[in-house]
Amino acid sequence: MSGTEGRAILLVAHARRQAAIDVARDLSRRLCQAAVTVRVLDTEAPILDCSGGVPVPADQHAAEHAELVIALGGDGTLLRAAELARPSGVPLLGVNLGHVGFLAEADPMAIDVTAEKILAGDYFVEERLALEVAVRRDDQVVIRDWALNDVSVEKEAREHVISLVLAVDGRPVSRWSCDGIVCATPTGSTAYAFSAGGPVVWPQVQALLAVPLSAHALFARPLVVAPTSTVGIELADPAKVAVMFCDGRRSHSLEPQDRLEIVRSSEPVRLVRLRDTPFTQRLVDKFQLPVQGWTGS
């Protein structure tokens, strides 16, 4: 990239975490000094109090014509920022101020290096598979949504299980009495699906995962299906309702006999990478996996 004229960056921060506020102010100052327009959400602007920050509405237009969206916080903040970045196809950079922060790329302790790389255009963009879900009720689509990590169907009442039927490409696979089902992307395989016993899937693999939650059945193993497949989930109990969550952030009430159809989205989420670290190394580092004893190069 040549020059900084006309460049704009949207900052999205965990406004209840002082570390995120401090980093937002520092990063905003560095970018503004380089003549980059820094946008901040109008709902966060009074708390962040970023010198030179331009407040914008927290809607689907917040990132229009921006170069990057930068999320300052944990994975929850990054998922919130993804909702703002995706409508405009703007790349998303995560600065980890949470715990594991699996989706985040940058370290707050090296914010000066991060700022330098952003200003120099020294980064690359990686596309991640996302999900689209449609909920059918009486042959009518009543809900549409999307997810970067996962779509889950869960029981509404803690004391009862729900009965769900899973289908792939229109053909039923199995019926379970369970707490629910998680349908995840490879990106989401290290999140909720991982906690439910699903496999870790490398981001370069194009696939959809279906992971039952505490299913009372002999066959209740996680499934990995083709990215071209449609994963169907039906609420089979006429007396039980359920809840659908998209990335654990957006919830929708489901009624008996509702059918979910989950497919690969035509619009991926674009994540910024500052260094070409293999996913294997990221996995080892984030989960602090023991690798002593390996003697290979």
Which residues are part of the catalytic machinery? 75
Is there a contact between 63 and 10 (Cβ–Cβ < 8 Å)?
yes
| Distance linking the first and last C-alpha atoms of the chain | 36
Please return the burial class of 174, using the count of CB atoms within 10 Å of its CB with bins 0-12, 13-18 and 19+: middle
Kindly report the length of the chain. Answer: 297
Please return the burial class of 81, using the count of CB atoms within 10 Å of its CB with bins 0-12, 13-18 and 19+: buried
Is there a contact between 192 and 148 (Cβ–Cβ < 8 Å)?
no
Is there a contact between 86 and 254 (Cβ–Cβ < 8 Å)?
no
Residue 45: count of CB within 10 angstroms of its CB: 17
CB environment 128-148: b (16+ within 10 A), e (fewer): bbbbbbebbeeeeeebebbbb
Supply the DSSP symbol for 200: P
Beta strands 269-273; 231-235: pairing state: unpaired
